[in-house]
Amino acid sequence: MATKNLSIANLLTFMLLAFAPTTKADEGMWLVNLLAQHGIDAMQQKGCKLTADQIYSLNQPSIKDAIIIFDNGCTGEIVSDKGLILTNHHCGYGAIQQHSTTNHDYLTDGFWAMQMRDELPTPDLTATFLIRIEDVTSRVLANVNEQMDEAERLKIIDDEATKIENEASANTTHHAVVRSFFGRNQYLLLVYETFNDVRLVGAPPSSIGKFGGDTDNWMWPRHTGDFAVFRVYASKDNKPAHYSTDNVPYKPRHYLPISTAGFNAGDFTMVMGFPGITSRYATSTEVEQTIGIENKNRILIRGARQELLLEDMLANQSIKIKYSSKYANSSNYWKNAIGMNQALKRLNVIERKRKNEAKFTQWVNANANRRAKYGEALPTIEHAVSNSNDLQRTLLFYEEALMDGVELLSLGFYLEYMENALTVGDVADIANYLRETARAFYRDYHLPTDQKVAKAMYRLFCEHIDPKFHPNGFIGQADIDKHIDHIYKNSMLADTVKLMTFLNNPNTDELLADPGYKESMMVLNKYRELRTALKPISYELMRGTRQFIAGTLEMSQGQPMYPDANSTMRLSYGEVKGYSPHDAVQYNHITYLDGMMEKEDPNNWEFVVPLKLKQLYQTKDFGSYAPNGKMPVAFLTTNDITGGNSGSPIMNAHGELIGIAFDFNWEAMSSDIAYEPDLKRCIGVDIRYVLFIIDKYAGCHRLIEEMTLVGDRAPTANKRNKAA
């Protein structure tokens, strides 16, 4: 079987190397370690002036050394030789909120460290650099075969992957992970280095960083200054270190120079980052499940919860600070689900998928060997999806309504660690961990709000979930208010003093008698039971998907193929370009500060314009950042991005920073499943607007001096980036 697995690996290599330079669409989130073999020729034909080694190299500084995973969910870029980071305001939102109080409301007022000593340590915030990528497919798949069931196959794979990870990280400050690609047909080793001392340097007020709020989210035209500034600190020998006053700014292998020359429609653009999840190999049956179960119910549950949260946030400034980040995180993918469903239906994605599947089936049936290898792929997927619908819907309600929706329950889940520790008689470390967890929890918690939300979430759950899937002993619809009130009145989870007292002297009887903990475990145990019931179906789906994608790769020989995004570093390339979403409607590729002033509404918190910004606009005090007296704000490119790309650098043909990606457009919300070349656009904040806000609005000139600015391809008085 090793021979067969090697043939799969060779096929995948061929598919990645067989990049067609005549490809017209800018679709693709390409693996950066293979640019030398594929892709770079097509990029250079579109105008790129870089070599593959300047983008990704193991032996010399390259652009990949300036791109970070920011806070485990976004992307950021290093823009100075002192570890200065640019990312999105919405990516740094939780950190900004963490430092905010009613006396120092950095969400509302912004924050700027005028000296390096003023930069704010931010616990738990991380910056992760990619060190290298290595294909380990042959080794990982060496001992598996098609006669194994999927569970056995995955165990062998996981065991071998763990060995590879341990070998790669041994005696280093690195950590390694083996990730699957192309439906578990390919495996790559990715080696990272994570820095734990990341400090807040600057952030505009939310009236700039979140201008337009939920109304403009995923929309164009856009006038949002969605950026924030952080810095990586390291030990004196430039290694990862937890926060210390002895730490110094990190010295990167490479940082991005910044272009102030601007751009024109048609100019080459490149985005590098860590896109989260796409499902472009999903079948029609899976898309139906996404529309009718996942998105439909997420819209329902999050919409109901957000309405209650916003009601309290608008009524009380302290609650607004506590819940701003939670609300924003929830709302982002609530609106995403709405837009995705609309786009998937409008663009007939299900029917297009069915046509592709019919073509695949015809190709498979034309050859006996292909029928043996791939003939059961689509029927297996369809059977698994059909059998999983009820469980998937139920589990989503558990996750969205109860486990994430009711905060008190989420705190209760952590106390299971204490129950286990009490059994073995080792509680001191767990108690310390739970104290820190509880302090962080209560810092951003308002009990009356959570109590109100809990009642609504329980009602939704009871209305939509069959009682056979309810937790054992779950309360009935008629008694919800009384039941919730009892828990919130009597549980130590609802009282920080009671919980801390318990953690100082924990005992099993008190823990098991607590109504909040009992409720948490009742929910969690049933959730685990349902997840276990789903496992065999999940293995069936994995098998069908693996076979379908392997067959798709074989059928598509000679065409460019890329794996679905999975939070690993990718590169996309394209150009600056507007689009036409509807008949007789044409969107330009750039917006200006004029549009922000036109949108201003002092009675709507989403569209308030800061007084100082209005004054700068009225006097046209834009410094050197506004061509022809107009201040650019945001722009469009054809780069292929998704969630996780937030904060990614948008670079020009020379690898210089021209903007920061922060969104894509409403008309292309289907793109995680089906890319639409005529509609899909990346939305970025223009780097000139970023510099203008830092310099003229905030007056934080030291940051401008720290960066390397390049105008018209000629360096300014600022130092030139040696690695550029």
Catalytic positions are 90, 226, 646
Residue that the structure tokens 């939310």 belong to: 206
Element (H, E) at 134: strand 127-135
Helices (H) and strands (E) in the chain, counts: 27, 22
- Cβ neighbours of residue 261 under 8 Å, at least 6 residues apart? 710, 711, 712, 713
* Local structure of 77: helix, strand or coil: strand
Residue that the structure tokens 């360096």 belong to: 715
At residue 525's C-alpha, the angle toward residues 524 and 529, to 5°, is 115
Q: Are 58 and 132 in contact (CB under 8 A)?
A: yes
One-letter amino acid for residue 549 of the chain: I
How far apart (Å, rounded) are the C-alpha atoms in residues 471 and 401?
Answer: 13
How far apart (Å, rounded) are the C-alpha atoms in residues 440 and 437?
Answer: 5
From residue 632, how far is each of 144, 217, 223, 361, 596 by CA, in Å? 55, 19, 9, 50, 11
Q: Are 679 and 667 in contact (CB under 8 A)?
A: yes
- Cβ neighbours of residue 448 under 8 Å, at least 6 residues apart? 312
- The pair of structure tokens assigned to 50 is 């870089």
Strand 709-711, strand 714-715: pairing: antiparallel
- The pair of structure tokens assigned to 279 is 């499902």
Which DSSP string do the residues of 261-326 spell out, in sequence order?
S---TT-EEEEEE---B--TT--HHHHHHIIIIIIHHHHHHHHHHHHHHHHHHHH-HHHHHHHHHH
How far apart (Å, rounded) are the C-alpha atoms in residues 230 and 98?
Answer: 14
Q: What are phi and psi of 69, to 5 degrees?
A: -80, 120
- Cβ neighbours of residue 596 under 8 Å, at least 6 residues apart? 211, 223, 609, 613, 633
At residue 634's C-alpha, the angle toward residues 629 and 638, to 5°, is 130
Radius of gyration of the chain (CA): 26
How far apart (Å, rounded) are the C-alpha atoms in residues 661 and 686?
Answer: 9
Which DSSP string do the residues of 104-119 spell out, in sequence order?
S-HHHH-EE-SSGGGP
Strand 186-195, strand 175-181: pairing: antiparallel
Upstream peptide bond of 677 is cis (omega within 30 degrees of 0): no
At residue 198's C-alpha, the angle toward residues 193 and 202, to 5°, is 140
In a 10 Å sphere around its CB, with 0-12 CB exposed, 13-18 middle and 19+ buried, how is residue 44 labelled?
A: middle
C-alpha count within 13 angstroms, C-beta hemisphere, residue 110: 27
Length reported for the chain: 724
Among 272, 327, 318, 340, which residue's Cα sits nearest to residue 569?
272
* Local structure of 444: helix, strand or coil: coil
At residue 504's C-alpha, the angle toward residues 502 and 510, to 5°, is 25
- The pair of structure tokens assigned to 138 is 């042959």
How far apart (Å, rounded) are the C-alpha atoms in residues 650 and 79?
Answer: 13
